[in-house]
Amino acid sequence: MSNNNSGEMPLGQKILESPFLLLALGILTMFVFYTIWGFIEVYNLPQSTLP
């Protein structure tokens, strides 16, 4: 394993050490998940008949 002392943190460490970035990532993930789920549910609805 090489010893990297350049001072730059990996992306995963940046995300896990920043609470605001972690919060934004969690909200964005849930927004995308529920939006896609909603579109799939609307697409699978049966066509209704009008009176």
Q: Break the chain into its structural domains and give their ranges.
A: 17-42
Model pLDDT, residue 40? 96
| Residue-wise burial string across 29-46, b where 16 or more C-beta atoms lie within 10 A, e elsewhere | eeeeeeeeeeeeeeeeee
Question: For all residues of the chain together, what is the average pLDDT?
Answer: 87
Of the pLDDT bands very low, low, confident and very high (cuts 50, 70, 90), residue 48 is confident
Q: Pick from 19, 10, 6: which is nearest to 27 by CA? A: 19
How far is the C-alpha of 13 from the C-alpha of 17, rounded, in Å?
A: 6
pTM: 0.60
Determine the longest span between alpha carbons in the chain, in angstroms: 73
Q: For residue 11, give the DSSP letter.
A: H
| Residue 21 confidence (pLDDT) above 60 | yes
